[in-house]
Amino acid sequence: MKDVSPTEAAPKIQGKNATKTLEKTTPLTEVVISLYEAQEKIYPRSTSGFFTKWRWVMIWLTQLFFYGVPWINWGHRQALLFDLETKRFYIFNLVLYPQDLIYLTAILVISALSLFLFTAIAGRLWCGYTCPQTVYTEIFLWIERKIEGDRAARMKLDTAAMTTKKLVKKSCKHFAWIAFALWTGFTFVGYFTPIRALANELIHLNISPWETFWVCFYGFATYGNAGFLREQVCKYMCPYARFQSAMFDDDTLVVTYDEARGEPRGGRSRKLETSKTLGSCIDCSLCVQVCPTGIDIRKGLQYECIGCGACADVCDTVMDKMGYARGLIKYSTQNTMTNKWSHKQMMQRILRPRVIIYTSILAFLVSALLASLWLRTPFRVDVIRDRGVMARLADGGMLENVYRLQIMNGTESIQHYQLNATGIKGLLIEVDGTEINQDVIVKPAESRWLSLRLEIPDGSVEPGSYPVEFEIKSLQSKETVTEKSIFLVPR
Ligand code: SF4
Ligand code: SF4
């Protein structure tokens, strides 16, 4: 196929994931399709208004939580800590072991279902207000604006030749971004290793290679995603953007442009009556300039829209200046726009079957999780039969089987336990060679492995496999946990 020059170019086709450029070389058939086109940088203009305020409220809340919680102590330790080294998860007064993974799984399922419910009611509010990608992009944009100025100044700076002033501005911006990103990486690692110890290591330049790697890795991810990739993460990388449409219906709140009221759009003098020739849209393009994903909401709902409401805020200011009613761009539903419903009618549609089903499942799962946590015994036990030793004759004509037993103390105080075994007449239990006549002591939030022997007089029962039960009783809580195993009597 022969190469073609750009001057011969023909129309562009906008696809979802790529821009295809059709270039005709002859009037007949030769066509070059480019599946890649460099992204044009988006320079979102700053805005203010009701939704912008709420976005900043959410940014403050989420960031106060993220950066603040690791520094909160609960007793003598960090309140929220996923300690990978000791394999303990501390969530305030709850101590979870890897065996409690079911609780973490349940929390993840509940979070996912909450997102479904939230999306069915209010669309992509999660994306626009609380998603880390949006939140960090907004923070990085704020830093960028403070150093380089608003949209027009940034565009001008980027196209200008490199001067000392430009170099200083760019260096300051990247320095601030990197410092913020590293702080984010440090905080993230502080959820997995005690943050005070980590800070101490950092101050004394004694931080371990793995901790250094994860701080830099997470910091680099923040720097890259919020500083450079920005809306491309939402458009091309985020899986939620792909399947969220399955959770939308005609009663889901989305950011909408009131086409009936806005069209035909066009510039006009402030005094011109809209009703005569033009709709309310003055075609100022401010709604496009403030959009962090660079779309034009006037073309209808698009999957790139993250529901941030910036376009609604800026359009309201334009409407105010023109003396028109607010709400040319607003949160509304498809049904409301089509059927001209009132606000009350729109809100009444929130309680629809899909929402009721999601809410019921969510309520059930949350109740089950809370009940399970409430009824959870404060210790766990695992018994493993020693498969290397089938059965053997011990001193005194006794036949013994060997086991390993682990007691995990899920409380934050020293616990005393009593062990017992039942299932065969005359069954004796020994712990590490000593007949069990004293308590087993396990330190706070620790686990202890014990080597156990069950013994019966040789010949007292027929050869075979006998079920036995270990009973472990906490002397503090008086709760008892039983674990099943088998006792082998060889021929
Ligand atoms: S901000 Fe409002 S008036 Fe301006 S172009 Fe957008 S929809 Fe039209
Ligand atoms: S179209 Fe409006 S609501 Fe959607 S992302 Fe752009 S500015 Fe935000």
Distance CA 234, CA 221 (A): 15
The answer to whether 389 and 404 have CB atoms below 8 angstroms apart is: no
- Residue whose Cα lies nearest atom 6 of ligand 2: it is 291
Ligand 2 atom at minimal distance to the Cα of residue 128: 8
Ligand 2 near 254 CB (within 6 A): no
Nearest CA to ligand 2 atom 8: 308
Question: Could you tell me the distance, in angstroms and rounded to a whole number, from the CA of residue 246 to the centre of ligand 2?
Answer: 20
The reply to whether ligand 2 has any atom less than 6 angstroms from the CB of 289 is no
Percentage of residues in the chain with pLDDT exceeding 70?
Answer: 90
pLDDT of 415 higher than 80: yes
Nearest to residue 171, comparing CAs of 181, 183, 162, 184?
A: 162
Query: H/E/C letters for each residue in the chain?
Result: CCCCCHHHEEEEEECCCCEEEEEECCCCCCEEEECCCCCCCCCCCCCCCHHHHHHHHHHHHHHHHHHHHHHCEECCEECEEEECCCCEEEECCEEECHHHHHHHHHHHHHHHHHHHHHHHHHCCHHHHHCCHHHHHHHHHHHHHHHHHCCHHHHHHHHHCCCCHHHHHHHHHHHHHHHHHHHHHHHHHHCCCCCHHHHHHHHHCCCCCHHHHHHHHHHHHHHHHHHHHHCHHHHHHHCHHHHHHHHHCCCCCCEEEECHHHHCCCCCCCCCCCCCCCCCCCCCCCHHHHCCCCCCCHHHCCCCCCCCCCHHHHHHHHHHHHHCCCCCCEEEECHHHHHHCCCHHHHHHCCCCHHHHHHHHHHHHHHHHHHHHHHHCCCEEEEEEECCCCCCEEEHHHEEEEEEEEEEEECCCCCEEEEEEEECCCCCEEEECCEECCCCEEECCCCEEEEEEEEEEECCCCCCEEEEEEEEEEECCCCCEEEEEEEEEECC
Between the CA of 287 and the centroid of ligand 1 the distance, in Å, is: 6
Nearest CA to ligand 1 atom 7: 281
CATH 2.60.40.10 domain locations along the chain: 379-489
Is the full-model pTM beyond 0.85? no
Would you say the CB of residue 137 lies under 6 angstroms from ligand 2? no
What is the distance in A from the centroid of ligand 2 to the CA of 55? Answer: 13
Radius of gyration of the chain (CA): 33
Give the closest residue to 298 by CA, choosing from 310, 281, 313, 314: 281
Pick the range with the lowest mean pLDDT from 149-153, 204-208, 232-236.
Answer: 232-236
Nearest alpha-carbon partner for 448 in 386, 380, 357, 391: 380
Is 401 within 8 Å of 391 (Cβ atoms)? yes
256-294 pLDDT per residue, tens:
999 999 999 998 876 655 557 889 999 999 999 999 999
308 lines ligand 2 (CB under 6 A): yes
Is residue 57's pLDDT more than 90?
Answer: yes
Ligand found nearest the CA of 47 = 2
Report the pLDDT averaged over residues 187-204: 95
87: pLDDT confidence band, cut at 50, 70 and 90? Answer: confident
Ligand index nearest the alpha carbon of residue 306:
2
Residue 426 vs residue 211, higher pLDDT: 211
CA of 131 to the centre of ligand 2 (A): 15
Residue 242 has a pLDDT of 77
CA atoms in the 13 A half-sphere facing the CB of 88: 23
Residue 274 has a pLDDT of 52
pLDDT at 132: 94
CB 334 within 8 A of CB 300: no
Per-residue pLDDT at 10 = 38
> Structure tokens of 351?
């309680």
What pLDDT does 396 receive?
84
**What confidence tens digit (pLDDT) does each residue in 421-468 have?**
999 988 888 887 555 566 888 988 888 888 888 999 988 899 999 999
Across 312-338, average pLDDT: 94
293 touches ligand 2 (CB under 6 Å): yes
The pLDDT of residue 97: 84
Topology of domain 379-489 in CATH is: Immunoglobulin-like (2.60.40)
Residue 8 clears pLDDT 50, i.e. is over it: no
Q: Per-residue pLDDT averaged across 73-94, rounded?
A: 89
State pLDDT tens for residues 107-118.
Answer: 999 999 999 898
The number of the ligand nearest the C-alpha atom of 312 reads 2
The predicted structure's pLDDT at residue 28: 62
Position in ligand 2 atom list of the atom nearest CA 307: 3
Among 306-315, 322-331, 343-352, which is the least confidently predicted range? 343-352
Q: Residues enclosing ligand 1, CB less than 6 A?
A: 262, 265, 281-287, 298, 314-315, 318, 328-329
- Average pLDDT in the chain: 87
* Mean pLDDT within 353-373: 93
Q: Which amino acid is at 463?
A: P
pLDDT digits (tens, 9 = 90+) for 13-41: 344 444 444 444 445 667 676 666 667 89
Q: Crossing angle, helix 209-224 and helix 164-189, to 10 degrees? A: 130
Q: Whose CA is nearest to atom 5 of ligand 2?
A: 305
Task: Give the mean model confidence (pLDDT) for residues 367-383.
Answer: 90
Pocket test for ligand 2, best of 46, 291, 314 (most atoms within 8 A of CB): 291
- pLDDT at 468 (0 to 100): 94
The model's confidence at residue 3, banded by pLDDT at 50, 70 and 90, is very low
Q: Do residues 157 and 167 touch, judged by C-beta distance below 8 A?
A: no
| pLDDT at res. 13 | 37
Residue 430: the pLDDT is 85
